[in-house]
Structure 1
Amino acid sequence: MATKTANVTARVQPEIKRQAEEILDRLGVPVSVLIDSLYRQIIMTNSIPYSFRVPAVPTRDAMTTEQFDRMMAEGLKQAKAGQGTDLKDAFAQIRECI
Structure 2
Amino acid sequence: MSKTANLYVRIEPELKEQAESILSALGIPASNAINMFYKQIILQRGMPFELKLPEQRVLNFNQLTEKEIDLELQKGIDDVKSGKIKESKQAFADIRKDYKL
TM-score of Structure 1 vs Structure 2, range by shorter chain: 0.5 to 0.7
2:70 is the alignment partner of 1:74: no
2:7 is the alignment partner of 1:3: no
Distance 1:85 1:8, change over 3 A: same
Question: What is the CA–CA distance in structure 2 between the aligned matches of 1:74 and 1:10, rounded to whole Å?
Answer: 44
Between the aligned residues of both structures, percent identity stands at: 31
Tell me the alpha carbon deviations over residues 26-54 of structure 1, each in whole angstroms, 9 at most, x when there is no partner: 11111110111111111122111111122
Question: What is the CA–CA distance in structure 2 between the aligned matches of 1:84 and 1:41, rounded to whole Å?
Answer: 39
User: What SS does the aligned partner of 2:73 have?
Assistant: helix
2:17 is the alignment partner of 1:32: no
Tell me the alpha carbon deviations over residues 63-87 of structure 1, each in whole angstroms, 9 at most, x when there is no partner: 436369x58x8269727xx535244
Question: What is the CA–CA distance in structure 1 between the aligned matches of 2:14 and 2:42, rounded to whole Å?
Answer: 29
- Equivalent residue for 1:83? 81
Which amino acid in structure 2 is aligned with residue 43 of structure 1?
Answer: I
Question: What is the CA–CA distance in structure 1 between the aligned matches of 2:73 and 2:53, rounded to whole Å?
Answer: 25
Distance 1:65 1:25, change over 3 A: same
User: What SS does the aligned partner of 1:55 have?
Assistant: coil
- Equivalent residue for 1:12? 11
The alignment's C-alpha RMSD in Å is: 2.9
* Number of equivalences: 80
Which amino acid in structure 1 is aligned with residue 35 of structure 2?
Answer: D
Structure 1's unaligned 5+ residue stretches are: 89-98
